[in-house]
Structure 1
Amino acid sequence: MLLTKSGLSRRLYQLANYDAITGLPNRTLIIDRIHHAVEIVAKKELPVAVLSISVKRLQNVAEIYGAKVYEALLRTVTKVLQTELREFDSLAIGAQKEFYVLMERLTDVSRVTNYCKDVIAAFEQGFHVLDQDISLSVSIGVAVYPDDENDAIKLLQLSNLALHHAMLRNDSSYQFFKQEMNNRVQRAGEIERALYSALNQGAFYNHYQPIVDSKSGNVLGFEVLLRWPQCVEYSVEELARAAEQTGLITRLTLQTLERALLELKAWQSLNNSLYVSVNLSAHDFQVPNIVQLIAEIIERVEVSGHCVAFEITESVMLADIPHAIAVMHALKALGCRLLMDDFGTGYASLTYLQSLPVDVLKIDRSFVADMVASNSHAVIVRSILGLAHNLGKRCIAEGVETAEQIVMLQELGCDLYQGYWFSEPVCGDEATNLITRSWKQALSLKAFDHNDDNTMSARAGS
Structure 2
Amino acid sequence: MGGPMPGELAQGSLAHLVMTTGEPVVIEDMEAETRFTPSAVITDQGVHSGACVPLRGSRDETGILAAFDRVTRAFSPDDVHFLQTMANVIVMAVDRHGKDEEIRHLALHDSLTTLPNRVLLADRLERAIQAFRRSGRAAALLLMDLDGFKEINDTLGHHVGDVVLTRIGARLTEVVRQTDTVARLGGDEFAIVLTDVETGEAERVAVKLLGAVEEPLEVDGMGLRVRASVGIALVPDHGMETSTLLRCADVAMYRAKQLGTGPATYDADFDHHDVRRLALVAELREALETDELVCHYQPIIDLRGRVLTGVEALVRWRHPVLGLIGPDNFVPLAEQTGLIKPLTWWVLRSALSQVRQWEEENHHLAVSVNISARVLHDAELVDRVAQLLRETGVAGEQLELEITESGMMANPGAALETVTRLAALGVRLAIDDFGTGYSSLAYLQRLPVHDLKVDRSFVADMADNSTDASIVRSVIELGHSLGLRVTAIGVENEPTLDLLSELGCDAIQGYLVGVPALPGEVGRAAGAEAAGF
Q: TM-score, normalised by structure 1?
A: 0.56
C-alpha spacing 1:271/1:399, structure 2 compared with 1 (3 Å)? farther
Number of aligned residue pairs = 285
Equivalent position to 1:336, from 427, 430, 450? 427
Q: Does 1:224 align with 2:313?
A: yes
Q: Distance in 1 between matches of 2:247 and 2:299?
A: 46
1:166-245 maps to which residues of 2 (within 5 A)? 169=242, 180-187=267-274, 188-230=277-319, 232=322, 237=328, 239-245=330-336
C-alpha displacement of 1:366? 1.6
2:309 partner letter: L
C-alpha spacing 1:392/1:261, structure 2 compared with 1 (3 Å)? same
Bigger shift: residues 223-232 or 305-314: 223-232
| Counterpart residue number, 1:25 | none
Q: Does 1:370 align with 2:457?
A: no
Alpha-carbon displacement from aligned partner over 1:367-414 (angstroms, at most 9, x marks no partner): 111111011111111110100001111100111111111111111011
- Do the aligned partners of 1:314 and 1:349 also contact (CA within 8 Å) in 2? no
Q: Does 1:411 align with 2:498?
A: no
| Counterpart residue number, 2:526 | 435
SS of the residue corresponding to residue 417 of structure 1 reads strand
Alpha-carbon displacement from aligned partner over 1:304-325 (angstroms, at most 9, x marks no partner): 1111110011121243110011
Alpha-carbon displacement from aligned partner over 1:166-193 (angstroms, at most 9, x marks no partner): 5985599999998733313322422221
Q: Distance in 2 between matches of 1:175 and 1:405?
A: 40
C-alpha spacing 1:379/1:353, structure 2 compared with 1 (3 Å)? same
- Do the aligned partners of 1:224 and 1:277 also contact (CA within 8 Å) in 2? yes
State the identity %.
37
Bigger shift: residues 189-198 or 343-352: 343-352
- Do the aligned partners of 1:208 and 1:426 also contact (CA within 8 Å) in 2? yes
Equivalent position to 1:299, from 390, 406, 412? 390
SS of the residue corresponding to residue 358 of structure 1 reads coil
Higher relative CO (Cα under 8 Å, sequence separation at least 6) belongs to 1
- Do the aligned partners of 1:207 and 1:227 also contact (CA within 8 Å) in 2? yes
C-alpha spacing 1:173/1:392, structure 2 compared with 1 (3 Å)? closer
Q: Distance in 2 between matches of 1:421 and 1:337?
A: 25
Equivalent position to 2:448, from 357, 367, 391? 357
Q: Does 1:257 align with 2:344?
A: no
C-alpha spacing 1:179/1:215, structure 2 compared with 1 (3 Å)? closer
Q: TM-score, normalised by structure 2?
A: 0.49
1:64-79 maps to which residues of 2 (within 5 A)? none
1:117-196 maps to which residues of 2 (within 5 A)? 169=242, 180-187=267-274, 188-196=277-285
- Do the aligned partners of 1:310 and 1:339 also contact (CA within 8 Å) in 2? yes
Which stretches in structure 2 are left out of the alignment for 5+ residues? 1-128, 135-234, 253-264
RMSD: 3.2
C-alpha displacement of 1:352? 2.6
2:392 partner letter: V
| Counterpart residue number, 1:382 | 473
2:353 partner letter: L
- Do the aligned partners of 1:343 and 1:349 also contact (CA within 8 Å) in 2? no
C-alpha spacing 1:238/1:213, structure 2 compared with 1 (3 Å)? closer
Q: Distance in 1 between matches of 2:297 and 2:247?
A: 42
Q: Distance in 2 between matches of 1:167 and 1:210?
A: 44
1:229 partner letter: R
SS of the residue corresponding to residue 400 of structure 1 reads coil
Which stretches in structure 1 are left out of the alignment for 5+ residues? 1-112, 119-161, 440-458
Q: Distance in 2 between matches of 1:400 and 1:329?
A: 31
SS of the residue corresponding to residue 528 of structure 2 reads coil
C-alpha displacement of 1:239? 2.5
2:377 partner letter: Q
- Do the aligned partners of 1:166 and 1:173 also contact (CA within 8 Å) in 2? no
| Counterpart residue number, 1:320 | 411
C-alpha displacement of 1:294? 1.2
1:225 partner letter: L
C-alpha spacing 1:257/1:236, structure 2 compared with 1 (3 Å)? closer
C-alpha displacement of 1:251? 0.7
Q: Distance in 1 between matches of 2:330 and 2:368?
A: 22
